Amino acid sequence: MEDFEEEQQRRKKPRRGANGFDAAAAAERRKRIDAERRQLPAWAARDQLLSLLQQHRTLVLVGETGSGKTTQIPQFLVNARFGFGSGTGQTSVKPRAANGVDQDPGDAGPSTSGRGQANGAWGGGGGNCIAVTQPRRVAAMTVARRVAEEMGTPLGQKVGYAIRFEDATSPATRIKYMTDGLLLREALVDPALSRYRVVIIDEAHERTVSTDVLLGLLKGVQALRGDDFRLVVMSATLDAGRFVDFFPGAVAGLIRGRQYPVQVMYTARPEDNYLDAAVCATLQVHTEEPPGDVLVFLTGQDEIDSAERLIKDKLASLPRSQPATVGEGAEGAGEGADGADPSAPAPAPGGPDSLLVLPIYAALPPEQQMRVFEPAPPGVRKAILATNIAETSITIPGVRYVIDTGYVKSRDYNAKLGLESLAVVPVSQAQARQRSGRAGREGPGKALRLFTEADFGQLEQTTPPEITRCNLASVVLQLKLKAMGIDDVLGFEFMDPPPRAAILRSLELLFALGALDAAGKLTEQVGQRLSRLPVDPMYGRVLLAASDMGCALEAVAVVAMVATENVFHTPRAKEKEWRSARLKFVAREGDHLTLLNVFRGFSELPKESHKARTQWCSDNFVNIRALRKAEDIHTQLLRFLGPPSPPGLGLPLRSCGDDPTPLRRALAAGLFPHAARLQPDGSYRVLATGRQVFLHPSSVLLDRKPPALVFSELMHTTKTYARDATAVEPRWLPELAPTFFAAKAPGQA
């Protein structure tokens, strides 16, 4: 597990420069990056943007993906020390240096804050920080890393990022990349968002639930803050008019980008299996097309892992078309196998060794995420296997070919059934166009769509905002928080209001959980507390119940594990091994207790012995990164529940030891809306909705199905699957949630 070692190294000495390169190499790299930056379209628009922001409180900014919006605009603002609002009598835009090139304060040495305070612009009416929201965690992290490097500061200082359960910022932070969900949480605690001078809602076209709620809340922030506060809404593909209409006095701005023509090709017939088709298409481009990197859009980690394996297998069987002089590094290159002239141009791509397959998705370790941005060695073609993240959030240099499977993983919610699902669905036409466009950023490109032209015609024009198709329980709970003063959730000013049925349904759920009283007000005992916990309201309720039932320590560990993705390592080639390793954790009560066993096993190891921990994880086929993450979440949740001062709720944190019953009851007390009973055919029926569901194949309960269970969530693929299930006693349900079961399931008990 070398990346673990690497990370330890990194933690020990604060990094200077790039990825641990020596000082000279880092300086060289920064020079190159600096030159690249200044070529970005955003730079040409810099002064105009700053002056627009001086005159208007809201700027809606549209600019081609890759034009430098996300990485450059926050830097412009910081380097110009904002230059608007109270405290600024002087010119806002820094005069250009004689050579016509701006000197960034970061480059020049003295700290921005020092100089800023001297001229009085910083901290004028409040806040000296810029928040830049991203719908995706990966984007927040990779962009922050990049911008820190551009500014020549260690990540977490002047430039930082924050995502749920992870905060890489400090009091020195001026540019904070964060998920939209996190800024929403901050807005609950501080409705004026007083830490921030500017909020940038990036990737606004994605219209995530958090972005949409934030947009509504930001109107309130503007009213509170007046001229001290600026809002920038940006995106590559945005209906700017709608946003300008939504924010009074807003102005639209455009960054003119470059876009080269992209030749779009369709398949003649529909593909049976888009994954296989994507693998074939990648190899076809690799063997037949002139140099240029390939970007392949897939839907998730599993698919990306399979595709990577398939491509590598097929590559291994390709005939070697030239001596393998180039591999992952370029060590052998130029050595001249067969006495080839070392100065000869690099071999054209085609040979198996000259394709470098690089995955990028959210759960990938950061070091590996950053690898996709590194240029390939000469003669090597990169094939980047990406989720939707590469559609607009990140731009990977060098891409000339795009392969679009035409699918995306997307959340959906059926308000009537209360069924939330994460399903693979066809993209919209707008998404397909945006994906193809990624091939034409640096020169003419080609896009291969793995569907027919007729199918394209059938796609939706655009994707409806997520808020119109999701479970709103968290959102409604947050809007109900007193601090926000928005008691009438149905009257909240949304850009696109969610369906009334969905709001009503979440109000019902919150009522059933005890978070709202009959008048729709947040209850003190449950509602107020739930809204402060950074977990789904049902799991929040589990935590509260657990503290009453004397098993808070166990429940916190379970919730931390549930919140962690990719705990288990399940390589197909070693299925026998990992299945047998899993056995020793299996709890007959179900998946939650199994996860608890894994967590306990890991935390019993001596913390300081990295070797022991690494070895244990590798022996047991669990992912050390995931477990360290779970450990982090565990610590934070304990802080949320424990100490009786904010953020702590002051709840008793006790352990139930080896008795599983209290924990099962606590799970039932929160997850009862997801309670289901076994049917004669082996499926389950959700009590609240009557829906038929199947136990997920990964569940430990699969071969000893209990008469009743509660589960975390439903996943809809070919069937509707219940994930993370725990056996419960049927009689507990009416006991723990009397109103819910009396009203919902007459005759079902």
3-state percent helix, strand, coil for the chain, nearest multiple of 5: 45, 15, 40
Classify the C-alpha dihedral 604-607-611-614 as positive or negative. Answer: positive
Stretch that binds ligand CDP, among 138-146, 276-284, 649-657, 702-710 (CB under 6 A): 138-146
Task: Annotate each residue in 5-34 with x if it binds ligand CDP (CB under 6 A) or - if it does not, as one string.
Answer: ------------------------------
Give me the 324-363 binding string for ligand CDP, x by CB under 6 A, dash otherwise. ----------------------------------------
Q: How far is the CB of 282 from ligand CDP (least distance, A)?
A: 21
**Residue 70 in contact with Mg ion, rule: CB under 5 A:** yes
Residue 366 CA to residue 353 CA, distance in Å, equals: 25
Report the nearest approach of Mg ion to the CB of residue 206 (Å).
11
Q: Are 587 and 597 in contact (CB under 8 A)?
A: yes
- Identify which of residues 150 and 353 has a Cβ nearer to ligand CDP in the complex: 150
Determine the length of the chain. Answer: 749
Q: Is 142 in the site for ligand CDP (CB under 6 A)?
A: yes
Instruction: Let me know if 487 is exposed, middle or buried by CB neighbors in 10 A (0-12, 13-18, 19+).
Output: middle
Nearer to Mg ion, 289 or 442 (CB): 442
Judged by CB under 5 A, the stretch of 64-72, 173-181, 570-578, 628-636 that binds Mg ion is: 64-72
Helices (H), 317-399: 366-371
Q: If binding means CB under 5 A, how many residues of this protein chain bind Mg ion?
A: 2
Gap between the Cα atoms of 244 and 251, Å rounded: 6
| CA-wise closest residue to 165 among 567, 635, 538 | 635
Q: How far does CA 224 lie from the centroid of its chain? A: 30
Instruction: Using the CB atoms, write b or e for 34-65: b if 16+ within 10 Å.
Output: eeebeebbbbebbeebbebbbebbbbbbbbbb
151 scored as a contact of ligand CDP (CB under 6 A): no
Non-local (6+) Cβ contacts of 65 within 8 A are 236, 257, 392, 395, 434, 437, 438, 441
Decide whether 69 or 136 has the Cβ nearer to Mg ion: 69
Binds 88: which of ligand CDP, Mg ion, none (CB < 5-8 Å by kind): none
Q: For the chain, how long is the longest CA-to-CA vector?
A: 85
Return the one option of ligand CDP, Mg ion, none that residue 594 interacts with (CB less than 5 to 8 A, by type).
none
Where would I find the beta strands (DSSP E) of 304-459? Answer: 355-360, 381-386, 399-404, 407-414, 419-426, 445-449
- The values of phi and psi at residue 464, to 5°, are -65, 150
Minimal distance in Å, beta carbon 392 to ligand CDP? 7
* Shortest spacing between CB 41 and ligand CDP, in angstroms: 8
Distances (CA, A) of 662 to 533, 542, 545, 556, 732: 21, 11, 9, 13, 11
Q: Report strand pairing: 196-201 vs 129-134.
A: parallel
395 binds ligand CDP (CB under 6 A): yes
Nearest residue (CB) to Mg ion, 78 versus 675: 78
Kindly indicate which of the ranges 70-78, 193-201, 496-504, 638-646 contains the residues binding Mg ion, using the contact rule CB under 5 A: 70-78
**How many residues contact ligand CDP, by CB under 6 A?**
16
Nearer to ligand CDP, 72 or 471 (CB): 72
From the number of C-beta atoms within 10 Å of its C-beta (0-12, 13-18, 19+), residue 448 rates as buried
How big is the chain by its Cα radius of gyration, in Å? 27
67 contacts which partner out of Mg ion, ligand CDP, none, CB within 5 to 8 A by kind?
ligand CDP
Which one, 206 or 554, has the nearer CB to ligand CDP?
Answer: 206
> Binding segment for ligand CDP among 140-148, 428-436, 545-553, 726-734 (CB under 6 A)?
140-148
What are the helix and strand counts (H, E) for the chain? Answer: 28, 21
Query: By CB under 6 A, is residue 418 in contact with ligand CDP?
Result: no
Secondary structure class of 70 (helix, strand, coil): helix
Q: Closest CB to ligand CDP among 76 and 82?
A: 76
**Among 146, 205, 230, 449, which residue sits at the site for ligand CDP (rule: CB under 6 A)?**
146
| Cβ proximity of 232 and 199 under 8 Å | yes
Query: Which of Mg ion, ligand CDP, none sits in contact with 66, Cβ below 5 to 8 A by type?
Result: ligand CDP
User: Please, which of residues 546-565 interact with ligand CDP by CB under 6 A?
Assistant: none
CB of 40 to ligand CDP, least distance (A): 6
Q: Which stretch binds Mg ion (CB under 5 A): 66-74, 334-342, 367-375, 494-502?
A: 66-74
Q: Which does 695 bind (CB under 5 to 8 A by kind): ligand CDP, Mg ion, none?
A: none
Min dist. Cβ of residue 257 to Mg ion (A):
12
Q: Which is nearer to ligand CDP, 371 or 610 (CB)?
A: 371
* Bond into 647 cis (ω within 30): yes
| CB-based contacts of 729, cutoff 8 Å, min separation 6 | 708
Binding mask 42-81 for ligand CDP (x = CB under 6 A): ---------------------x-xxxxxxxx---------
Binding site for Mg ion (CB under 5 A): 69-70
Q: Which residues bind ligand CDP (CB under 6 A)?
A: 40, 63, 65-72, 142-143, 146, 373, 395, 397
